[in-house]
Structure 1
Amino acid sequence: MQGVLSGFTVGVTAERKAAEIGSLFSRRGARVLFGAAMHTVPLPEDGELAAATEEVLAAPVDYAVAVTGVGFRGWIEAAQHTGIGDRLLAHLRSAEVLARGAKARGAVRGAGLVESWTSPSEESAEVLEHLLARDLAGKRVVLQVHGDPMLRFREALRAAGAEVVPVTVYRWTDPVDLPALDRLIDAVLRGEVDALPFTSAPAATNLLARADRTGHGEEFREALRDKVFIACVGPVTAAPIDAAGLSYAMPDRARTASLVRLVADELPKRAAR
C-alpha cells in the first residue's frame, strides 16, 4: 500500500482531522494540499445553546438523538459550565436516547446515559427511518444538531406528529486560513489536484460557495467534473456534491480510513484508463 498514490495530489478540506487525514494520504505517497473549507465555532454558552437547553428542560422528552460525539459532548459540557448539567442529564434519563454511530454512542455513555439504539450505518437517514417506524404523534424529540441544521430530518418528524426541539451546538463559518482554501481552489483550476475526499457536508458546501464568491464557480465545477476524483464519506456529506451535479464515490463504511482506502484504490485505476 505504501507509495500507491505516488505522483498523485490529494486536496484535504477538513479542519478538525486535517493532520490525521493528510498523514494517511502522505503515507501512501500522495502529495497533500491543505485548504480547510470551514471553521467550527461553538455557540455562546449564554446565547442560542443555553436557550435551546432551557427549552429542552421545559417539558418531558420522549426521544433524544445524539448526532455527533463532539456535538453531544459539547452540549453537556456547556450545560455543566453554566450549572445545569446535572439537571439536564437527569431530564434526559427518562428519554429514549438514540445515537447516530459509535462516536455519538460513546459521548452518550460518557455522560452517564444509556442509549437504546445505535445506527449500524451511522447515517442520519437510518436514524430517521428508525424514528418514523414509531408512533410519533404528540411525542417530543430532542435533536442534537452539529452545524448542518438537518431541516428535512426535522420536517419529516413534524409531519409524523412529533414536536421537535433542535439543539445546535456548533455553527460553521469560513475557515480561519481563507487564503489556503483559495490556493486549493486555484490548484484545482490548474489541473493539479487529482482527488478531493470530503468528510463533511459543510466543507463541500463552503468549498463550492467560495469558488462562486471568487468568480470561479462554473470553471471550478467544470474542473471537478473533468479532472478530479471526488469521494464522500457518506450520503449526508455527498448531498451538496450531488446537488451540484458532480459525480462522486462513497466507501462501503462511513469511516475516514475507508474513505482513504477508496481513494487509494480508485486513483491508480483512473490513471490507467
Structure 2
Amino acid sequence: MNEATTEQPLAGYTVGVTAERKADELGALLTRRGAHVMQGAAMHTVPLPEDGELAAATTEVLAAPVDFVVVTTGVGFRGWLEAAEENGVGTRLLEQLRPARLLARGAKARGAIRGAGLTVAWNAPSEESTEVLHQLLEHDLHGTRVVVQVHGNPMVEFRAKLSEAGAEVVPVAVYRWTDPLDLDALDRLIGAVIAGEIDALPFTSAPAAANLLDRADRIGQGTSLREAMRSRVLLACVGPVTAAPIAQEGLPYSVPERARTASLVRLLAEELPAREV
C-alpha cells in the first residue's frame, strides 16, 4: 500500500538506480523523499590516462592549430586538462585551445571551459549534441581542424558528418564505459524489475540505459525486462541524450524540464503518486 505524504511523496515506492558516478547523489535525493532505493550500477567508467589513449589524442591535438573544440561533458573536459597537467603538457594544451572556438554541449561543459580560463564561443540551449553539430555545420569546415571531446559513446555519426563537411576531426576520449564491477547487483536489479518489485527506473546516462538492456539480453531476460519496463515501471531520463537507448526500443519514458538530477527526482515525486490516482 502506498505510504506517500506531502513531505515524502515517494514513501512506499521502490526505485532502481543504475547510475555509478551519480549513485550516491541520486540515492540520497530519493531516500530523502521517502523512496526505498535498490542499487545496481549498469556500467563502470574507466578513465583512459593510464592506457595511453588519452595521451596519444592530446599529442595529436598539439600537433597543429585547432579551429573548433566541442566540449560534451564538464567532467570529461576537466579530466582531460588534469591528465595533460599530470603529463607535463597542461599549459601547452590550454594555449593550443585558447585561439579556437569552443562550443559547449551544456551548462556543465560551459562551466568547465570557463573554469579553465577559456572562452565559450557558443553553448547549446537544448544541451543536445545534435544542436552542436548543426551549429558547426553552419560554418565552412573545409580545411578546419575540429577537436571533439567524446563522452564514452564514440559519436561516430557526429564525427562522420564533420568529416563529410571537409573537417579534420580529432576525437579525444577521456573515459570509456564497461560492464559494472558488480554484475550480480545489476542482475538482481533486472530480476526485481521483472518481478514487479521496482516502481521506477531513473537514468542519468545513455550508457547505463543501453547496458541495462544489453545485460538483460545476455542473461536471457531481455524480453521480460522490456515487457516490465513498458507496462509497469516508470522510466525517467535526465535528458534527451540519456533517453536515446530507451527511445530506440520504443519504451515510454518521461524527461524533466531541466537536465538536472534534482529535477529528475522531482519528476518521479510528481509522476509516481499520480499513477495511483
Normalised by the size of structure 2, how large is the TM-score?
A: 0.95
- 1:34-183 alignment runs, 5 A limit: 34-45=39-50, 47-183=52-188
Does structure 2 conserve the Cα–Cα contact (< 8 Å) formed by 1:35 and 1:184?
yes
1:29 aligns to what SS in structure 2? Answer: coil
Tell me the alpha carbon deviations over residues 153-193 of structure 1, each in whole angstroms, 9 at most, x when there is no partner: 11222222222111000010111121111111110011010
1:142 deviation in Å?
0.3
Aligned mate of 1:267, from 259, 269, 272: 272
Does structure 1 conserve the Cα–Cα contact (< 8 Å) formed by 2:213 and 2:222?
yes
Q: Does 1:193 align with 2:198?
A: yes
Q: 1:23 to 1:53 in 2, by over 3 A?
A: same
1:116 aligns to what SS in structure 2? Answer: strand
Tell me the alpha carbon deviations over residues 132-161 of structure 1, each in whole angstroms, 9 at most, x when there is no partner: 222222211101112111122112222222
1:44 deviation in Å?
3.2
Could you tell me the percent identity over the aligned residues?
70
Q: Does 1:246 align with 2:233?
A: no
Q: 1:31 to 1:46 in 2, by over 3 A?
A: closer
2:275 aligns to what SS in structure 1? Answer: helix
- Tell me which residue corresponds to 2:31: 26
- Tell me which residue corresponds to 2:3: none
- CA distance in 2 between counterparts of 1:115 and 1:36 reads 33
Misfit runs of 4+, over 6 Å: none
Normalised by the size of structure 1, how large is the TM-score?
A: 0.96
Does structure 2 conserve the Cα–Cα contact (< 8 Å) formed by 1:121 and 1:253?
no
Give the unaligned 5+ runs of structure 1.
none
Q: Which moved more, 1:129-138 or 1:90-99?
A: 129-138
1:94 aligns to what SS in structure 2? Answer: coil
Aligned mate of 2:230, from 219, 225, 231: 225
Aligned residues: 272
2:214 aligns to what SS in structure 1? Answer: helix
- CA distance in 1 between counterparts of 2:177 and 2:152 reads 6
1:261 deviation in Å?
1.2
1:55 aligns to what SS in structure 2? Answer: helix
1:46 deviation in Å?
5.3
Does structure 2 conserve the Cα–Cα contact (< 8 Å) formed by 1:45 and 1:82?
no
Does structure 1 conserve the Cα–Cα contact (< 8 Å) formed by 2:15 and 2:201?
yes
> Which amino acid in 1 is paired with 2:82?
E
Q: Does 1:3 align with 2:8?
A: yes
User: Pairwise CA RMSD of aligned residues?
Assistant: 1.3
